[in-house]
Chains A and B, each alone.
Chain A
Amino acid sequence: MSHSNSSKNTLLEIENLNVTFSSVHGPIQAVRNLSFKMGHEKIAIVGESGSGKSQTGRAILGLSEGNVSADKLIFDGVDLQSLSTRDYREIRGKRISMIMQDPKYSLNPVMTVGKQMIEACRIQMKVSKKEAIKRCMDMLEAVRIRNPQRVFNTYPHEVSGGMGQRIMIAMMLLSSPDLLIADEPTSALDVTVQLQVLAIMDDLVKERGMGLILVSHDLPLVASFCDRILVMYAGQIVEEIEASKLNEAQHPYTRGLLSCLPNNAIKGQPLATLQRQDSWLDEVPNRQEQDKNAQESLV
């Protein structure tokens, strides 16, 4: 495992996180015994649909609708599980931000984009309205919105999919958080804007020491952008790998995901699909073993 200097001090530490939902068919385990540590770096969480990526993010933020438990859930020395509702709210938005997977859904449909942004900005930063407007405009420009003034006065249904996503990103970056959880933040953007938006996040990591958890389905993209990749399957981390070495991944699930990509496919022939195996779930080493393995890989 490679860590840059700035990533050495721990920003977030999770040990044995579990998220369950009760249902008529019995409990649904959305996240099981998930553990990882991160510093001021760019972590990717990948994995198939329903593997628990969003629920992991929501649990960190204290926003999961399920039953959350963990042996450790510590953010920058703060035990998140011991926070009062009020203190959690204080941390959320200011120090930890999350760009939700469903951008337009998170915006208020009957309020203009500008009004919502100003409101969010003033709550988070206690600045004057004039200052808030300026910051919002600057941030919209930073995420490559072509005509911020026009977008400011539109309602959410009047912006395109990718514009909606960028508005959410702009809003979450207003307060310059210490940890940003970005859930599929660029999945609706064209590839050039996608890279430009990632470059903004990259700057925040490099210049301000922000930690970034990027949830994504785009394996080639995270391999080129992030430092480390956590691969999730059925609520568990089944493999952790240095991003630039994704192509050398060992776990059959990760290898399976890579083989599904259309990038190297032959036109007219079906794409490879994933043959899931029950044994993948039992293979997951517990935290102690993972640490031991990590230790060994350092020598």
Chain B
Amino acid sequence: MIIESQHKSAIELDNLSIHFGSDESLVKAVDQVSFNVPEQQSFGLVGESGSGKSTILRALAGLNQHNDGNMFVEGEALQSKRDKAFYKKVQMVFQDPYASLHPRHTIDKILAEPLAIHGFKDSERRIAQVMEQVALPSKFRFRYPHQLSGGQRQRVAIARALILEPKILLLDEPTSALDVSIQAEILNLLNRLREELSLTYLLVSHDLAVVSYMCEQVAVMQHGKLVELLQVNSKGETHAKHPYTIQLNLASKGYDRKVIEEFIDHE
């Protein structure tokens, strides 16, 4: 008999590998990565630029094929094609708010589209509600993305992901383009929604302060590999042992020329 563990997994990666290119240009973007995100947890993914964080999120969202290993969402193995029901459950906020919003669609249209695809009737109410949730004034509703500032655009991207009320949010640097005041509002919003709607987050960020504040666990990545899995205690502290993680912690203390000279490229 299999006894189900108390915390069911929202997301499980089992030896996931994703490669691009071949021969000399082969990139092991994700190299045998396994981790487990319990339901209703907020799980952080930090690490080197180019270490495969976005690739993992994209693979979960069905935007990348994987070479090896398995992915499970709410216990179900993901097949190569995702159906409509999947996207009501799992939504993603992309790292690049410029590329992910259609340049010739108004904010209204951008937000109405997922509602139409999924057959929601009360789109008027939902659009107004979600814009309020992400603190976008209603006067922006009929503007185009290029008429908004960077932060305003990212709020549109977050609003679009929230509008279907998904259970799992894949958040790729959701606040790195935002100023600290909007960041605080969005992080508070994400925390409130997680509580109210029992959401699960997989959150990529390079800001260690954001991750310690938001997450219960953090995976540290480098060169496609998961090098350390950290538990974050209630004070927001972690106990890093891996040299790369220790270097990240040092670097997040600010610009210090002496510290920088001592960085090692962990090649």
Contacts and interface: CB of A to CB of B under 8 A. Distances in A.
Interface of A: 21, 25, 46-51, 54, 101-102, 104-105, 144, 146, 150, 153, 158-163, 166, 184, 187-196, 198-199, 202, 217, 219-221, 223-225, 256-258, 260-263, 265-268, 270-274
Contact of A195 (B150, B213, B234, B251): B251
A261 B209 contact: yes
A262 B179 contact: no
A242 to B, nearest CB: 15
- Among B47, B192, B251, the most chain A Cβ lie within 10 Å of the Cβ of B251
26 contacts: A47-B179, A48-B180, A49-B152, A50-B149, A50-B151, A54-B149, A105-B98, A144-B265, A146-B267, A150-B25, A153-B25, A160-B50, A160-B54, A163-B49, A190-B248, A195-B259, A221-B254, A225-B255, A258-B180, A260-B180, A262-B187, A262-B213, A263-B209, A265-B236, A267-B236, A270-B192
A217 B177 CA distance: 8
Given A54-B150, A190-B48, A191-B206, A161 B255 contact: no
Interface string B178-193: 1111111101100110
B120 interface: no
Contact of B183 (A54, A166, A223, A260): A260
Contacts of A194: 206, 251
B176 interface: yes
Given A188-B95, A257-B180, 10 more contacts: A188-B173, A189-B206, A190-B46, A192-B247, A192-B251, A195-B251, A257-B181, A260-B183, A262-B209, A273-B185
Contacts, number: 164
B235 interface: yes
B150 A102 contact: yes
B257 interface: yes
Given A49-B149, A101-B150, A268 B181 contact: no
Contact of B181 (A158, A187, A223, A273): A273
A267 B248 contact: no
B260 interface: yes
Contacts of A47: 179
Contacts of A261: 180, 184, 209
Nearest to A156: B99
Question: Interface centre among A150, A159, A202, A273, by most B CB within 10 Å?
Answer: A273
B96 interface: yes
A274 B181 contact: yes
Contacts of B212: 262, 267
Interface size grouping (class) on chain B: 35 or more
A110 to B, nearest CB: 14
A158 B25 CA distance: 12
Contact of A49 (B178, B208, B267): B178
Contacts of B207: 191, 262
A3 B187 CA distance: 38
B86 interface: no
Contacts of B240: none
Contacts of A101: 150, 177
B183 to A, nearest CB: 7
Given A49-B149, A267-B235, A161 B95 contact: yes
Interface string B13-42: 000000011000101000000000000000
> Quick one: which of A219, A267, A273 has the most chain B CB within 10 A?
A267
B22 to A, nearest CB: 12
B140 to A, nearest CB: 10
Contacts of B263: 192, 195-196
Contacts of B150: 49, 54, 101-102, 184
B4 interface: no
B213 A256 contact: no
A36 to B, nearest CB: 20
Contacts of A263: 209
Contacts of A217: 177-180, 183
B243 to A, nearest CB: 12
A158 B173 CA distance: 18
Closest 6 CB pairs of A and B: A49-B151, A162-B49, A224-B254, A271-B184, A260-B184, A191-B251
A189 B206 CA distance: 7
Given A161-B95, A271-B187, A273-B181, A195 B255 contact: yes
B209 A256 contact: no
Contacts of A219: 180
Contact of A273 (B54, B98, B184, B265): B184
- Max count, chain A CB within 10 A of own CB: residue among B179, B256, B267: B179
B98 A150 contact: no
B260 A267 contact: no
A273 B255 contact: no
A44 B55 CA distance: 33
A54 B251 CA distance: 27
B182 A271 contact: no
A163 B50 contact: yes
B139 interface: yes
